[in-house]
Amino acid sequence: MKVKKYMLTGSYLLCLFIIPCFSGCKKDSPATPGKKFELSAMPREGWMGQLDSTYSGLTLGELTIPGTHLSGAEVNHLNSEDMAYVTQMYDIYDQLVMGVRFLDIRLGYDTADCKTGLGLYNDEVNDMFMVDDDYLNQSFQSVMSSLEAFLNENPTEMVILLIHQVHSSLDLIDFWGMVTAEIADGGFSSEHIVDYDPTRDAQLPLLSECKHKILLMSTENTTGFAGFTFHWPSNTSGYSELVGNLHCHAQDMSKWDCFVPDEKFGYINQLIDQCRNVPKADQPKNLFINFTSGYDICSDREYIAATMNMATFQYMNDKVTNNNPCGIMVMDFAGDTENTGAQLVDACIAINFMKE
């Protein structure tokens, strides 16, 4: 395990002693909001299969999909000294069971950390006092085993896997060659990978075409990888790019000197509204990835997650419509009731069943 470095700079001391007086840095979790969604009636483990049975002909662009940020940084695999890196309370298999269908995987190669080579890392570190990538004590093989187990038990479901290359000295071809090989070894040969190419296909695939499969995405251009690439600038408040025939949009503003809830909430709402305002005919040609997560040196991840998950839930709840999706909502502490992660996952699922 790498040693973490801490630097008590003037700015950091200011946050320790002065900034906590402001609302953006307090540690108390907000109260759980009231609900308009009928969440108790929502399926979780097999929600995509039920949705496809209820509304046939839906593409992935017409869905609201719950996702997890830094999916592998979950408490069960981290040592006590690494708790600052925790973003999830449940392991990847349990995330899928609770309804998550988008995984954010930071993947590196280091045989000193992971005997099989490819392992999961946290690459979001605060340069002020945490300077090293941290190995999350999970191999990529274990992730693929969890995906295979879940999809074999729930063959009506699919999972979107977003892979970022971090912490690796391998060249591009060798790295992605290893990724491709381990995906295949994990039980995902070509028939279990969604055959989608935005430079070839006019729209995102139908949900019915994705059953018992994974859709692969990368944030890095590569060859020989059975997925498509969408790269956005780090820490963006909003970014759009045309990838072949697919309009891709992302928001992942996550780093502050001190967390400002209203600022982050505004960016989340802006992308939700942008997604909801896409005409129905164009929804199959648009992909939205909206991160509610964030961190800084003053507020812990749980406080930020509780604040943003609650605010996002309330915003979606107040603007429920019959047919407008919200895109992929990527959160910290998914499924955690104390941080409104359970309610937000359920709300993402519920809005899919409110179509006309």
Domains of the chain, earliest start first: 41-352 (3.20.20.190)
Mean pLDDT of 289-303: 85
Beta strand spans in the chain (E): 64-68, 102-109, 118-122, 134-139, 158-165, 213-218, 228-229, 239-243, 246-251, 286-291, 327-331
Q: Is 79 exposed, middle or buried (0-12, 13-18, 19+ CB in 10 A)?
A: exposed
Give residue 74's Cα distance to chain centre. 13
286 touches 275 (CB < 8 A):
yes
Q: Which pTM does this prediction carry?
A: 0.89
Give the best-scoring range by mean pLDDT among 113-122, 268-277, 311-320: 268-277
Angle at 165 between CA 159 and CA 168, to 5 degrees: 140
pLDDT beyond 70 at 171:
yes
**Single-letter residue type at 232:** W
Q: How confident is the model at residue 82 (pLDDT cuts 50, 70, 90)?
A: low
pLDDT beyond 60 at 32:
no
268 touches 255 (CB < 8 A):
no
More confident residue, 82 or 254: 254
Spell out the residues 6+ positions from residue 274 whose beta carbon is closer than 8 angstroms to its own.
238, 249, 288
CA distance 43 to 108: 34
DSSP 8-state secondary structure symbol assigned to residue 214? E
